[in-house]
Amino acid sequence: MRETAVGILGTGKYVPERRLTNKDLEQMVETNDEWIVTRTGIRERRIAEPAQASSDLAYEASVRALAAAGLTADQLDLIIVATITPDMFFPSTACLLQDRLGAKQAAAFDLSAACSGFIYGLATAASFVKTGMYRRILVVGAETLSRITDYTDRNTCILFGDGAGAVVVGEVPEGRGFRSFVLGADGSGGELLRICGGGSRLPATEQSVADKKHFLEMNGRDVFKFAVRVMGSAAEEALDKAGLAKADIDLLVPHQANIRIVQAALERLGLSEDKAMVNLDRYGNVSAASIPIALAEAVEEGRAKTGDTLLLVGFGGGLTWGASALVL
């Protein structure tokens, strides 16, 4: 009996209309367009409207992914939302999304692995389908990072944006689908990228708000070093597990954090820049949403086609990392 081939049935993305450009940031903090572009590659990012929450962005991306897969919401068995900016502690953003989609047959839960969350979600979904427990799973990366960004901190406010990407995972024809997954974590680096306030360790108080403990904190230098190292090693491990060579990659879809990190990964893999899907200049770092947004855009633009071999790779707070080789 052959093993079930599991892959991506459809992709979708949504980004808010409002743009926050580098020129806008020049009016807010001591920075400038040239400095931001040179060090990050980012030119603008999208910002959610005050009334929009992560579940709203997730809904729009999910509707598009379902349409691309030719499915309706009531055909879903499970919804996984990867996010570090849920609408609220509970109910989960996935449950809110399930209700709005009308996916009455679907179980639902959120997954927290920061920028690696979407890869973690894909691995979880693929495992469920392979075991036969579920047939069709919606995996979403959705973030409203503008709500946890301190716009007086020039080291972080230049980086982050809002958006959502979604895919439907299910059985695909033989020869297609996921070939490997690599997941990893190093909790000893947790303090390098975190939000201290709001949880059971440091509940919200007047003082915690005054001390800005509910905003994202990052040690940019050490996170950069970690990212450069782990993006390359995770990518190589995923290829090795899949029995693929670097030359087999048709498109690299990396986490969109910093153009220099992407370039370092390309150099390690021996790939030219046209082999990478890069949109961070327009969206910035959208955490768990960055890879699915980039993937959906690659499909829209014809850069990722059925039968192409893709390599997805990301890293994030935790510290965490993940990679996947697949045939679309």
Q: Which residues pair with 78 in a beta bridge?
A: 107, 137
Give CA–CA dist 300/214, Å, rounded: 36
- Judge contact between 324 and 265, C-beta under 8 A: no
State residue 133 phi and psi, 5-degree precision.
Answer: -65, -40
State residue 285 phi and psi, 5-degree precision.
Answer: -90, 115
Which of 95, 157, 258, 285 is labelled catalytic? 285
Is 155 an annotated catalytic residue?
no
Is 285 an annotated catalytic residue?
yes
Which of 22, 95, 157, 255 is labelled catalytic? 255
Q: Which residues pair with 25 in a beta bridge?
A: none
Give CA–CA dist 118/139, Å, rounded: 7
Which of 95, 115, 157, 258 is labelled catalytic? 115
Is 214 an annotated catalytic residue?
no
State residue 79 phi and psi, 5-degree precision.
Answer: -125, 125
Give CA–CA dist 13/207, Å, rounded: 38
Q: Give, rounded to a whole angstrom, the gap between the first and last alpha carbons of the chain.
A: 23
Q: Give the pairing of strands 217-218 and 44-47.
A: unpaired
> Which of the residues are catalytic?
115, 255, 285
